Amino acid sequence: MKDKKFCVEITRKCNLKCAHCLRGNSQNISLTKKKIKGMLCHIPKQVDILHLTGGEPLIDNSRHLLTTLRVLEKHIKCKKFELVTNLTLPITNEFFDAISILLKISNSGTIWYSDDDYHRIARREAGVNKQYKENLRKLRGIYRMVRKRRHVNMCAPGKGIIYSGRATKLPIKEYYKPHIKEEQYMTARQYIINDGNNISYKEADKIINKWLDYVDAEIGHYFGREFIKKKLY
């Protein structure tokens, strides 16, 4: 049986610069309480998987993650959650509060941490290996749901690709997960895109801007793009 999945891009901020990352460069854009409340009528109330991603969801002391979940906890229920993190930022009380909310709205969950050739290089360059190991020890001592994302596959000598994850070197459709029946992706810019979990910021924004162009053309400039920007940002 295939799953219904709702993905939430908590933020586009990230503390690492990974050469492989499909998303693109870090951007100073995050979900806010106002943005999420403005989208509640479009967010499903029941899903199989609630997938939380970024950027890096734990950035800014997990503040954006906790803010998002405090709004969603009264609205959505899921069978399981997935939280994807590079696990290189300090674990704060806000993080534990966020996990507590996730455990209330779901039956089970997984904290996926990234550990592959690309992330190891990025961690070393950023000088955060010590923090990463400390976080891993701490979380493994508390939760059983902490799991490694094993997703590096060598397809040719010297050329690594991501077999399952956010890669720039492999077409997305080649590893799209067959167990997913329906997937919606809520971006940090407060738009929902169908079938969009594994698309870059650039591609996501192309879809968003195409829709805004349509709004401008059909509704007019006053209630079009600039009006929406004032309301959302």
Q: What is the pLDDT of residues 165-191, one digit of tens each?
A: 444 444 444 444 556 677 888 999 888
Let me know: does 41 contact 9? Beta carbons within 8 Å: no
- pLDDT of the chain along its 233 residues, tens only? 678 999 999 999 999 988 778 788 899 999 999 999 988 988 999 999 999 999 999 999 999 999 999 999 999 999 999 999 999 999 999 999 999 999 999 988 889 888 877 788 889 999 999 999 999 898 888 887 777 764 433 333 333 333 334 444 444 444 445 566 778 889 998 888 886 666 788 888 888 777 777 666 766 655 555 555 555 44
Which pTM was predicted? Answer: 0.79
- Kind and range of the H or E run holding 228: helix 225-232
Strands 192-194 and 180-186, by their bridges, are antiparallel
Cα distance between residue 175 and residue 164, in whole Å: 6
Cα distance between residue 41 and residue 11, in whole Å: 21
DSSP state of 179: T
Class of domain 3-199: alpha beta
What is residue 233's three-state secondary structure?
coil
Q: How many other CB atoms are found less than 10 A from the CB of residue 184?
A: 19
Which of 83, 8, 74 is closest to 45 using CA atoms? 74
Cα distance between residue 4 and residue 180, in whole Å: 6
Question: Residue ranges of the domains in the chain?
Answer: 3-199, 201-233
